[in-house]
Amino acid sequence: MTTDIFLWLTQDGVTNGAIYALLALALLLVFTVTRVIFVPQGEFITFAALSLSLLEAGRTPGTIYILMIAGLAAAAIEAFGALRERAWRRLPRIVLLYVVLPVAVAALVAWAAPRRFDQWIQALLVLAMVVPLGPILYRIAYQPLANASVLVLFIVSMAVHYVLTGLSLVFFGGEGLRSRAFWDAKFKLGVVEISAQSIWVVAASVALILALWFLFERSIYGKALRATAMNRVGARLVGIPIVMMGHLSFLLAAFIGAVSGILIAPITTLYYDTGFLIGLKGFVGAILGGMGSYPLAALGSLVVGLLESFSSFWASAFKEVIVFTLIIPMLAWLSLRSHHVEEEEE
C-alpha cells in the first residue's frame, strides 16, 4: 500500500464516515429521548436523495403522495381522539397541521417540479417534503405506544421500515438514480484529488454537529430534550411535555436524514432501499460509541467509514461482513460492563 492509496482511502472513508456520523447522532437522539431504535432513519435519506434527482429531471417526486397519505392518516387518528373527547377546538389545529400543511407542500412541489428551479431551491423543496414526515411518523406509529418497552418499539420500527420501503419502491421504482453535483470542482492536494462534493459533505456534517451541540447546550428546547433523555419521569414532573419532545426529536432526525440524503445524492447511485444500509452503518457507529455519547458516536461512525473504505481495498467481498462483525465485540463489552438496571418501569 502506497501513501497515495492510503490518502485516497482515508479521504473516501472520512466522507462516508461524516454521513454515518450524522445518522448516528440522529439515531442516538431519537433513542435517548423516545427509546425508539429508529430503523427507518435510512428511508429519509432515500426519500430526500431520490426526490432531489427527480426534481432535477423535472418530474414530480412521489414523496408528496407519501407525505399526504401519512398526513391524512395522522389527521384521522388525531381527529378520532378529539371527537371522542368532544374537544372540538383541537380540530382546526389538526386540520392545519396534518392536512393543510402537507397538501400545501405537495402543491408547491407539483407546481415547482416542471419549472426546474436552481438546485438550492430544489434542496429546500426536498427538505419541505421530507422533514414533516418525521413528526407525522412519530404521531402515527410511536406516540400511541410511547410507554411500551424498547423491544415493542423496535418491532414497530421494523414495521414502519417495511411500509416505507414498500412505498419507496412503488413511488420511485426499482432503478437507481443519481443527481448532479452541487459543485463540480476538484482540488489537488498533493497526489490526492479531493472533490468539492466530499468537502461539502464533511463541512455540512461538522456544521450540523456544531448546530446540534449549540441547540443542546444553549436553547430551552435542547435542554428539555436532554432532560427527557436523562430521565423521562423526572422531566415530566418538572413540566416538560414528553410528547412534544418526541415530535421534536423525530423532526430533527428527519431533518438530519434529509440533509444526508441531499449530500449523498450526487456521490453515488441510490436505490429505493439504499438508505436502510446507510442508516444501519450509522447505527453501527452509534453502537461503537457506546450508544450514549454524541462525540463517541461521531467518532465511532468515522471508524466505520474508514474501516469500510480500507476493507473494500483489501477484501472487497467481505466488506460488509467486516463492518457488521465489529459490533459483536462491542456489544459483548457493553453488556458485560452495564450493571443492568431496568430503568424503563414507571
Residue choice 12, 43, 56, 78 for contact with other proteins (CB under 8 A): 12
9 binds other proteins (CB under 8 A): yes
Residue choice 128, 274, 289, 327 for contact with other proteins (CB under 8 A): 274
267 binds other proteins (CB under 8 A): yes
Minimum distance from residue 16 beta carbon to other proteins (Å):
6
176 binds other proteins (CB under 8 A): yes
Using alpha carbons, select from 229, 338, 339 the residue that is nearest to residue 290. Answer: 338
Minimum distance from residue 107 beta carbon to other proteins (Å):
28
278 binds other proteins (CB under 8 A): yes
**Whole-number Å distance between alpha carbons of 332 and 317:** 26
320 binds other proteins (CB under 8 A): yes
Contact window for other proteins (CB under 8 A) among 90-98, 127-135, 233-241, 314-322: 314-322
Phi, psi at residue 292, to the nearest 5°?
Answer: -150, -15
Contact window for other proteins (CB under 8 A) among 78-86, 203-211, 284-292, 309-317: 309-317
175 binds other proteins (CB under 8 A): yes
Residue choice 183, 187, 214, 314 for contact with other proteins (CB under 8 A): 314
Residue choice 34, 165, 205, 309 for contact with other proteins (CB under 8 A): 309
Residue choice 147, 231, 269, 293 for contact with other proteins (CB under 8 A): 269
Size of the site for other proteins (CB under 8 A): 34
Minimum distance from residue 176 beta carbon to other proteins (Å):
4
Contact present, 275 and 46 (Cβ < 8 Å): yes
277 binds other proteins (CB under 8 A): yes
Apex 310 CA angle, 199 and 191, nearest 5: 50
231 binds other proteins (CB under 8 A): no
Contact window for other proteins (CB under 8 A) among 7-15, 26-34, 292-300, 334-342: 7-15
For other proteins, the binding residues (CB under 8 A) are 2, 5, 8-9, 11-12, 15-16, 19, 175-178, 195, 264, 267-269, 271, 273-274, 277-278, 308-314, 316-317, 319-320
